[in-house]
Structure 1
Amino acid sequence: MKPTYKPYRLPSGGWGSARSVGNIVRREGVIGSAGIALSRHNKVDGYQCNSCAWVKPASPLPFEFCENGVKAVAWELTAHRCTPAFFAEHTVTELRGWDDYHLEQPGRLTHPLRYDAATDKYVPVSWGHAIEEIARELHAVEDKLKGTVFYSSGRLSNEASYLYQLFARLYGNNNLPDSSNMCHETTSVAQPVSIGQGVGTVDLGDFGQTECLLFFGQNPGSNSPRMLHPLQEASQRGVPIITYNPLRERGLERFLNPQSPTEMLTGKETRISSQYHQVENGGDLAALAGIGKAVLSAHDESLAKGGPAVLDLAFIAEHTQGFDRYADWLRAQDWDELERRSGLHRADMEATARVYAAAGPTIGIYGMGLTQHRAGVETVQMLVNLLLMRGNIGRRGAGICPVRGHSNVQGQRTMGVTEKPELFPLDRLGEQFGFVAPREPGFNTVEACEAILKGEVKAFVMLGGNFVRAIPDHGQMEPAWRRLRLTVNVLTKLNRSALLPGEVSYILPVIGRLEKDETAAGQQVLSMEDTSGCVHGNRGLRAPASTHLISEIRLLCELAKQVLPANEKVRWDAYMTDYAEIRKEIAATLPEGFHDYETRMWEPGGFQRDLPAKRREWRTESGRAQFVTPEALDEDLDMPAVGHDVLRLMTLRSNDQFNTTVYGYDDRFRGINGIRTVVLMNRSDIDRLGLKVGQAVTLRTVADDGVDRHLSGLIVVAYDIPGGCIGGYYPECNVLMPVWHYAVGSKTPAAKSIPVTIHSDGDAVLEPQMEYATG
């Protein structure tokens, strides 16, 4: 199909969502089975969505799923199978030439496979052989502190996550990077300093009682569509929803609920954002400073006139520290500078401040538009500051809401999958299992990449995910990855990481979340944690895709029995037979939050783990919520400033993908069809740089480290994006991001602001000429 572009004029949801759902269930051959599965989607005694981590409600809708959830279900339940016959027909070198979408289309992996360098193919092996050789290789790593890395994706269950961190620490290190390192690690660093906990403070009930919503850098239409339901309800109650985002995203503008027959038949849509401010890439820190400055000015002016306080002075006095220094900093900020750095007018920021100052309880919502910047930690803390100014943390209908991506990325961190030993009770874990847990900080994602580039890492175990595709600097990382001694890919479908084998490389396919996990003790259940900190049970409902699949838990236990010394306190055989035994161990390690685990996880809405800041208990160094004053307004001090020829690139997901999983090549809400190799540009930048819509161009990173990072063959699309800013798809554009370009403090890759130059690939223009997108 010829690539096309036509601006999308319809709301999010609606018939477009229904058609997209119909297309994928037909393509995956699961029209009947998907319907049965979706009846248990996000339901009590059902399963938690295997896409995003949005809240699983206590009183679910009859159809408690969204377009993305259906795509994830169809992707896992697919009728297609990727058997050993497929690998007999294709070499690894050939498969590396396939794109991400077509690599996953052969379907579910059915057999364990080992890479054969002589034929350049993956060949089937027995589970016993695979586990025995992997154990032998892990034993052979001399420097166990640095030589082995245990990575996991955010879809791992609580039970598997707990065993995984236990395995790694018994092995001898804290090298437990995960997908959180690439997205919300910034949250995990910023919020504990400000409010004493690394997760949000709001639940679904708060959305029903809020009086104002502030949105920063999060796109629910593509990333967490079920979130549109509480946003729609808030809008219909007259709640102002104020959005700061570089692109005008359809899900933040208008929504037509596809689960409402009345709306579908009448076309009645709901306005989502009441204000929409297109902040520049990297301009959120300045924008938040401007809003805070305007709120403070309104407070000062009101007091000077003998009026009421705008700020919650009682809350500030009783619960916070650092306000005076922060207020002095705000007053000293220059409006011209705030406008220049944010890309907004002073009136925009003041308009937000007026609404916020007049509102009652307010929720601050954000995503990777805040976290993936050099100053991401300070930017998140600035949003917390804004909420603290009016007492909007620790009250009903108010709080901070970081929207997590992967369905259990928050849960696996709770279970101890972290490179930071101070975040998990290692003394208690060591006493429980009779060992001295390592205290040396492990590698996060960026540090693992740096260690691989240095040749320090010898073995890399991936429990899910597509690590090599998700990380920055593909041009540097992929050759280094091939020099690893051992790479283990625990997957359900083929992806690009598996096609970069080390000397010894395995693909180990496992049971999916929607599938029944049967052991000698009967069908087993799992648990996950959603973005609001609520923990839910998960029960599979379909037979596994192949009789040759085993569970992640069994794989870990079988491997542990061969890798680790015998320890009577670690009952691997019991854990892989009855997962309730794992939950007993979790409750012993985390008794404050996980008592009565077995029954509480089946409560409607799950059970919420302890969130101290929700009740205004601040587990910070001072025992109070902390106003954090930023050092400067620059978000990207390690890279050149934007000039005439330098643009700031932000990476994006389409609405037809979930992280590195590409469901298709249509980005419906942006009107882009049949193509992902595009660069979204402001019309004025296209004209200024002498380019044409539809022209093929090369992006080149502006950096002084001597490495040529470039991406060619991108097609220019005129789009409603601030001048000086451009957008391109993740993970394709990751090749342009240096490993060292990350958030200070958290090392989250700074994917939302990469300075690049743009160069014509020639005079050829893609026909038909693409139209210009206007809101």
Structure 2
Amino acid sequence: MTAHKKSDAYRYASGGWGSLRAVATVLLKEEALVTTSRALAHQNKPDGFMCVGCSWAKPAHPHPFEFCESGAKATAWDMTSKRVAPDFFEQHTVSELEQWHDHALEDAGRIVAPMRYDAITDRYVEVKWERAFAEIARELQAIEPDAAVFYTSGRASLETAYMYQLFARMYGTNNLPDSSNMCHESTSVGLTEAIGVGVGTITLDDFDKTDLMFFFGQNVGTNSPRMLHQLQDARLRGVPIITFNPIREPGLVSFVNPQSPTQMLTPGATQISTQYHQVKAGGDSAAITGICKALIAADDRALAEGGPRVVDAAFIAAHTVGYEAFAAYVREMSWEKIESTSGLTREALTGVADEYARANAVIAHFGMGLTQHRLGVQNVRMVVNLLLLRGNIGKPGAGPSPIRGHSNVQGQRTVGITEKPALAPLDKLAEQFLFEPPRNEGMSTVDACRGVIDGKVRAVLQLGGNLVRSVPDRYAIEPAWRKLRLTVGIATKLNRSHLVHGEVSYILPCLSRIEIDERAGVAQAVSMEDSTGCMHGSRGVATPASDRLLSEPAIVAGIAQATLGTRSTIDWDAWSNDYALVRDEIACTWPEIFHDFNERMWTPGGFHRPLPARERKWKTTSGKAEFIMPETLDEDPDMPARDATDMRLFTVRSDSQFNTTIYSLDDRFRGIRGSRMVVMINARDIARLGLAAHAQVSLEAVSPDGHTRRVDGMEVVPFDLPDGCVAGYFPECNPLIPLSHHAKQSKVPAAKAIPVRVIAA
């Protein structure tokens, strides 16, 4: 398959008829039009189920259709009428399925029975749940606890995540990596250092009170489209939105609300970004330095002339440390360096500073375009610096707003999924459940991958996720993964991690969050935390895909009971039949967040976790909010450009994608159809490198370890990008990322600035 002959910029607003057509197409394709349409009426409603896709906030007073194109696709994908039953594996060997495209694997349908790999036939065969639990337990009991890894995707509910981390710690390990390690760990580290909390400080109410919004490295049109409602409302109030992104994304340019008959039937759209700056990949710290330099220069002039201050001097004096050192740094930094590194002009950045200086309350949204860098933590800290300059943390309508991806990726960290013992209430858990938790630091996702390659890891359990595809350095990971003794995947659909398997391998199919979860004759509900720190209940509404499925809590309880036996003080059977008991224990562990959990979980709009920084209480080392000076404005001093032919690759997702799940090979917004094996380059660089549009090329990355990493069979697609930057899809470009190429401090894979060369075939 080849890409579309042209890749013109998408000529229409996000939303609108294009979105409706895309939703209709996926509903028909998954052969579940009626059932999915009924379920969508309950999606993100206070008495319904929370979206299995993104974690954007759920309003107390939802729209009639409180779902977006991406959310509808995720729901249709789960509610498909297609089935992967045991006879599917009778027809297809694992070796054969390995040749299928990732899209085809998941498109085969829902897995409906627990399966065990049979090496003699090279097939998965059906196994009884009790036998699967017993055999997994036997394998875990045969190895040292620290040789096992318990990975969690962002899909798991608060109840499941709490049970999972307790099981792992009672088993004897803190090896609890999760999808945060892959995306927003830089946020958790950076915000905690700077303001004392590792999450954003805004709520939906702040959208009504803000005067200005920034966007840094976040594609709202494909990653969190429901947010466009709040952005549209703000723009109609005249709120400026200033965007920094290498690609001009339609969702950040203009929007037509599919729920508004007036907008759907009339020409025109709401302009979202009032300024759009195509920053170079890795140039964000430089761009923010330029804005801060212009602000501080204006403040210096105001002081000299006796005019009103531009920075919030009173706030800085009362609530921060490190301002003078940071101010001296930006005064000394040259505009030449800022411009060359950011790819933006002094005039453009000064214009941003002027707009910022006129606003009283400012929100700064950011995503993985900021966090997935070698200096990702620094990028987050620089956003905080920008906000602190004008007192934009701890007042209405202002604050940092990290846009999380998966639906409960933030919540699972709140209830103990972490490899860092200091972040888990180990003493409280020891008292509560009468065991001694391990105190050594566990493995992050990058550490776990290194452990797999080195042979230190013998077992990997995945609660959701598709690690074989999502992690860096795939060509090193896959052969090492096959040498694992045990792999277990708790999943709804077939993916690559089930096929690149260990010696002993199980697929344990679970209920989707959309489906009715009935235990002991009583319908159960679960809960999750959205990206604004609000907790919500979620109740399934659809008939399960099979009566052989178990819920995620029941599967975790089954493995835990079989593995721990009398070592555990927990009545896992009782917990698996009544999730309210689990919530009572969560409330006991974190009473300041979850008191009266069962009574409050159905609060419309959710109940909010306490965030001291919202009240200007700073739980930092100094007791105040902390400025930092950047280590460097260069994206990666450890991997500098070798010469002018080196480019910076950043990975992107398409509008028909959620994490490693590919709904379609088309990318409507980028005009690319039929293939994801493309590299987007601007016309100037195509000519400079002696390439041609639609030529076949390879991407090659060389890292300090001396290994050359290469992806072949790529097609050159002309695209509007900054000079020296190229873009390709995740996860297709993951083999180019060295495992060592990760963010300092947070170990997030640095997927947004990979040094590569484009080589003609």
TM range (shorter): over 0.9
Q: Is the 8 A contact 1:363 1:392 kept in 2?
A: yes
Q: Which residue is 1:766 aligned to? A: none
Runs of 4+ off more than 6 Å: none
Q: 1:120-131 counterparts in 2 under 5 A?
A: 120-131=122-133
| Deviation digits for residues 481-539 of structure 1 (CA, Å, limit 9, x no counterpart) | 00100000111000001111111001110111001111115010000100000000000
Q: Distance in 1 between matches of 2:630 and 2:645?
A: 29
Structure 1 counterpart of 2:106: 104
**Counterpart AA for 1:150:** F
How far the C-alpha of 1:217 sits from its partner, in A, is 0.2
Match of 2:135? 133
Query: For the residues of structure 2 that align with 1:684 and 1:298, how far apart are their CA atoms?
Result: 36
Name the CA distance, whole Å, in 1 between partners of 2:691 and 2:568. 69
2:498 maps to 1:498? yes
Secondary structure at the aligned position of 1:400 is classed as strand
Residue 53 (1) aligns with residue 55 (2):
yes
Query: In 2 relative to 1, CA 123–351 (structure 1 residues): closer, same or farther, beyond 3 Å?
Result: same
Paired with 2:419 and 2:38, the residues of 1 have a C-alpha distance of 39
Corresponding residue number in structure 2 for 1:160: 160
The match for 1:771 is none
Partner of 1:214: 214
The CA distance in 2 between the partners of 1:299 and 1:695, in whole Å, is 51
Quote the Cα distance in structure 2 between the aligned partners of 1:306 and 1:493: 66
Partner of 1:638: 638
What does residue range 383-462 of structure 1 map to in structure 2 within 5 Å?
383-462=383-462
Partner of 1:344: 344
What does residue range 44-193 of structure 1 map to in structure 2 within 5 Å?
44-141=46-143, 143-145=144-146, 147-193=147-193
Distance in 2, matches of 1:131 and 1:62, equals 43
The answer as to whether partners of 2:3 and 2:678 remain within 8 angstroms in 1 is no
Is the aligned partner of 1:37 residue 2:39?
yes
Report if the CA contact (8 A) 1:256-1:267 is conserved.
Answer: no
Letter in 1 for 2:101: D
Structure 2 CA distance for aligned equivalents of residues 18 and 204 of structure 1? 25
Structure 1 position 638, deviation (Å): 2.1
Letter in 2 for 1:525: A
2:594 aligns with 594
- What per-residue deviation string (whole Å, max 9, x for no partner) do you get for residues 200-244 of structure 1? 000001011100001100000011100111111111111110001
Query: d(CA) in 1 for partners of 2:642 and 2:629?
Result: 25
Could you tell me which runs of 5 or more consecutive residues in structure 1 were left unpaired when the two chains were aligned: 762-775
The amino acid that maps onto 1:285 is S
Does the residue aligned with 2:696 lie in a helix, a strand or coil? strand
In structure 1, what is the Cα distance between the partners aligned to 2:344 and 2:739? 30
Shift of 1:268: 2.8
Q: Structure 2: which amino acid aligns with 1:144?
A: P
The Cα shift of 1:2 comes to: 6.3
**In 2: Cα distance, 1:593 partner to 1:30 partner:** 39
Q: Which amino acid aligns with 2:136?
A: I
| Cα pair 1:642 1:724 within 8 Å, conserved | no
- 1:738 and 1:604 map into 2 onto residues whose CA distance is 45
The number of aligned residues is 759
Question: Could you tell me which residue of structure 2 aligns to residue 322 of structure 1?
Answer: 322
Deviation at 1:631, TM superposition (A): 1.7
The 2-side partners of 1:634 and 1:724 are apart by 14
- 1:665 is aligned to 2:669: no
Are residues 1:11 and 2:30 paired?
Answer: no
Structure 2: how far apart are the matches of 1:505 and 1:751?
30
Aligned-pair distance for 1:475? 0.5
Q: Counterpart of 1:541?
A: 541
Contact 1:640 1:703 in 2 (8 A): no
Preserved contact between residue 130 and residue 506 of structure 1 (Cα < 8 Å): yes
Look up the equivalent residue of 2:58 and give its one-letter code. K
Instruction: State the distance in 2 between where 1:678 and 1:577 align.
Output: 48
Match of 1:679 in 2: 679
1:645-704: CA deviation from partner (whole Å, max 9, x where unpaired): 100000000000001000001111111111111100010110111111111100000224
Q: CA deviation at 1:705?
A: 2.0
- Conserved 8 A contact 1:218-1:245: yes
SS state at 1:709 partner = strand
Q: Where do residues 571-586 of structure 1 align in structure 2 (5 Å cutoff)? A: 571-586=571-586
Cα distance in 2 for residues equivalent to 1:635 and 1:82: 45
Tell me the SS of whatever aligns to 1:687: helix
Instruction: Give the distance between the partners of 1:465 and 1:754, measured in 2 at CA.
Output: 24
Q: Contact 1:82/1:106 (CA < 8 Å) preserved in 2?
A: yes
Residue type at the aligned position of 1:152: T
Aligned equivalents of 2:122, 2:567: Cα separation in 1: 40
* Separation in structure 2 between the aligned mates of residue 635 and residue 3 of structure 1, nearest angstrom: 31
Cα distance, 1:89 vs structure 2:
1.1
Letter matched to residue 176 of structure 1 = L
Q: Amino acid of the residue matched to residue 750 of structure 1?
A: A
* 3-state SS of 2:145 partner: coil
TM-score, normalised to structure 2, is 0.99
- Matched position secondary structure for 1:40: coil
Counterpart in the other structure of 2:292: 292
- CA-CA distance at 1:3 after TM superposition: 3.7
Amino acid in the other structure paired with 1:706:
G
Please name the residue that 1:311 is paired with. Answer: 311
Between the aligned partners of 1:737 and 1:572, the Cα distance in structure 2 is 41
| Structure 2 letter corresponding to 1:684 | R
Q: Deviations over 1:569-615 (max 9, x none)?
A: 41212101110000000000000110111121101101001111111
Secondary structure class of the residue paired with 2:733:
helix
* Larger displacement relative to structure 2 (84-93 or 176-185): 84-93
Q: What residue number does 2:485 align with?
A: 485
SS in 2 for 1:267: coil
1:31 Cα deviation from its structure 2 partner:
1.0
Task: Give the alignment's TM-score, normalised by structure 1.
Answer: 0.97
Structure 2 residue runs of 5 or longer lacking an equivalent are none
Q: Which residue of 1 aligns with 2:355?
A: 355
* Residue matched to 2:371: 371
1:706 matched residue in structure 2: 706
